[in-house]
Amino acid sequence: MVILILENVRPTLRGELSRWLFEVKTGVFVGKLSALVREELWQLIGQQLGRGSAVMLQPASNEQGFSAKTLGNPSRRLVDIEGLFLVKT
């Protein structure tokens, strides 16, 4: 399962993502994607992000069961401390 959280992005980007993922709340997308589609969408987000921000959580073989990527300047920062992701406000 993939979770994408977008802040301050254009509605056209959200519309593009809604073709592939379910938007459970404004800017919060959830769904199951192949690795290829996930990476293609991440590149699309990077190209169309503008002044917004994005966080992507994806499955991983680690203690928490996920890894995270960020683009832009999200309101909450994910900090990797010895392999564990923590949120810093």
Which residues have a Cβ under 8 Å from the Cβ of 10 and sit 6 or more positions away? 48, 50, 52
Q: Would the pTM count as exceeding 0.85?
A: yes
Q: List pLDDT tens digits, range 2-21.
A: 999 999 999 999 999 999 99
Structural domains in the chain?
A: 2-88 (3.30.70.240)
Structure tokens that stand for 13 in this block: 């980007």
Res. 89 pLDDT band, cuts 50 70 90: confident
Mean pLDDT (the chain) is 92
Each as own residue / partner, the long-range contacts of residues 74-78 (CB below 8 Å, 24 or more positions apart, any chain) are 74/5, 74/7, 75/7
